[in-house]
A and B are shown apart, each in its own frame.
Chain A
Amino acid sequence: MKRLGMVAVCAAMFAAPAWAASVVVTSAFARATLPGSDTGVVYMTLESDTGDKLTGASTPVAVSAMMHKTSMAGMVMSMDMVSAIDLPAGQKVVLQPDQLHIMLEGLRHPLVKGTTIPLQLIFAKSPAETVTVPVAGFAAMTPGG
């Protein structure tokens, strides 16, 4: 009985990550900042098996991390804050240049290519996740760009 109990605990421990972290984050990258700029940007791909919402983000390297959507009306570009990013079940949601991004404002230090920054993501259902985001070039369109 005691042994069975241990097995159950182990099974629960192994099973935990499968349901706890149901949002998979891939291809995350930040753009290096240009001299003097205290504004940064992070892009990534998010996928939830069960459906979720990204409701917030934070990082110790910036005063705020907000979700923004860039939109073009004709040739006029504007950025709007969004309160949440919907993650429909089983669909990849891509945060990429000229579309959705996480904007870092009030950077405490420049973002240097080749380094990484921690970014905590907050979801409506899944527990918060901290991802390590590599810093790419200042005009990178992809993690390797």
Chain B
Amino acid sequence: MLALLALAGVGFGLTILLTSLWSSPDQTVSVGGPFTLVDDSGKTVSDRDFRGKWMLVYFGYTHCPDACPTALSHIDNALDDLGPKGAASVVPLFVTVDPERDTPAVLHDYLSAFDVHIHGLSGSDDQIAAAETEYRVYAAKHPDPAGGYSMDHSSIIYVMNPQGQFVANFTHETTVDAMVAKLRALGA
């Protein structure tokens, strides 16, 4: 009975996630998938290069002063708290939703401020759009009256298991302790 209740709870949580991400929650859950992008050293990489490791995938952009540094800082601190084993088994990926401004070099410079090695991923508009589709990420240019733009985007940290399957998600509001506890519970 307890197990059933727990299952119902998980189901309910997943339904909330699904309805917030998809219009038709009846479909099979599938978040994440193959991608081919360019890493911050300029090398073309695919999802297969990270197989065997847990991936923490966050989509954002460097001109975002509010949510993105918070999310990346939480990932940084969580991996630090996980210790050497965690650092070795978990790969954090920061995928830009703004490839126009976030070139591999820009991402490399930006991510150098973090203690852990967060892989910056950019690419062509098509490559980024394909990755956004796989991860059900919403991102759109939001022009501001001063002539610049910000990006509206989903602020979700996806946890992918070593087989590349989606197993959990955090947001930039998830505390470091909660992230660490969840990653440990998953076995990362």
A interface residue numbers (CB < 8 A to B)? 31, 33-41, 64, 66, 68, 70, 72, 74-81, 97-98, 101, 103, 105, 137-139, 141
Contacts and interface: CB of A to CB of B under 8 A. Distances in A.
Interface of B: 20-21, 62-67, 69-70, 72-74, 106, 109-110, 112-113, 138, 142, 144-146, 148, 150, 152-156, 171-173
Given A36-B106, A75-B20, A76-B138, A97 B144 contact: no
Contact of A78 (B20, B113, B142): B142
B146 to A, nearest CB: 5
A37 B120 CA distance: 15
Contact of B66 (A35, A37, A74, A97): A97
B148 A79 contact: no
Main secondary structure of the interface of A (DSSP, over half): strand
B65 A39 contact: yes
B75 to A, nearest CB: 10
A103 B65 contact: yes
A105 B148 contact: yes
B67 A77 contact: yes
A37 B66 CA distance: 12
A74 B65 contact: no
